[in-house]
Amino acid sequence: MPELPEVEVVRRGLQEHVAGKSISAVRVHHPRAVRRHEAGPGDLTARLLGARITGTGRRGKYLWLTLGEDGGHDETEALVVHLGMSGQMLLGPIRDDRHLRIAAVLDDGTALSFVDQRTFGGWQLAELVTVDGTAVPQPVAHVARDPLDPLFDRDHVVTVLRRKHSEIKRQLLDQTVVSGIGNIYADEALWRTKINGARTAALLPRRRLAELLDAASEVMTDALGQGGTSFDSLYVNVNGESGYFERSLDAYGREGEPCRRCGAVMRRDKFMNRSSFYCPKCQPRPRG
């Protein structure tokens, strides 16, 4: 599933190419792609026609387009884009339409396509609500700020983590505590700070928790600079190009390989139906 850097790459591409343009045509090719829009595909299509895309937004791994009346500035709703496991927002002609789920055309003739091989993603129109002084779509209201948010309060998150009596990695993945950190970047941040993900959050000193959050911010910023992490063709930017941060990963996916820091053989443990990758020497598991 795309994590914060990958979603931010897509948001930036959309901001550059679609902001200020209006939607002149929409067609839903697969009903699952609009299943979160309870009023159905007809309602979504009717409400999008003529709508002006006034900007883009993101919180954690959630992405949206803010909408206003054509020629107006009243932003009251947003088109929330759920990328799911394989969702892609593509601009221009697409080479393969087998997985085309929603097709839109902008007023300058640009094609905006939602392609989703596994059909876990989709589009949803939602009202904008204000949370902590920031307008976000209603389905995103429960999501905490992410480490790349200018208003992210690291000290507050550290205080929250100090009250959590469960594994620190589990808390990093809890989008109500801190958003945007998925499995890949959690493992990378834990490796950078020499913390094992199985350690109890409440038992870690405030200083170490702050270092961990800083490391998450740093690794996601590094990934953003390289277009994100792409293990296959499912994650691409708006131009259909893959990111290449995979080459820079220090922990994730490196089971059986030498730790880049100490040379010990990297390990993999099962975790929440996923995998955790770590160095047994640099990141020893907690006793007991």
pLDDT tens by residue, 223-244: 888 766 644 455 556 666 554 4
User: For residue 72, what pLDDT is reported?
Assistant: 46
What stretches of 83-181 adopt beta strand conformation (E)?
Answer: 87-91, 100-106, 111-116, 122-131, 134-137
**Alpha carbon 267 to chain centroid, angstroms:** 26
- pLDDT at site 11: 94
CA gap 112, 84 in Å, rounded: 18
274 in catalytic set: yes
pLDDT for res 140: 96
* Predicted pLDDT at 241: 59
What pLDDT score was predicted for residue 238? Answer: 65
Q: What is the 3-state secondary structure (H, E, C) of 22-37?
A: EEEEEEECCHHHHCCC
257 is catalytic: no
Query: How many residues are there in the chain?
Result: 288
The residue from 58, 61, 101, 169 that is catalytic is 61
Extract the residue ranges of the chain whose pLDDT is less than 50: 71-73, 230-232, 243-244
Q: Which of 260, 267, 274, 281 is catalytic?
A: 274
Whether 2 is catalytic is yes
What's residue 244's pLDDT?
45
- Quote the pLDDT of residue 71: 45
Name residue, tokens 């941060």.
245
- Among 114, 120, 171, 135, CA closest to 59: 135
3 catalytic? Reply is: yes
pLDDT for 231 equals 44
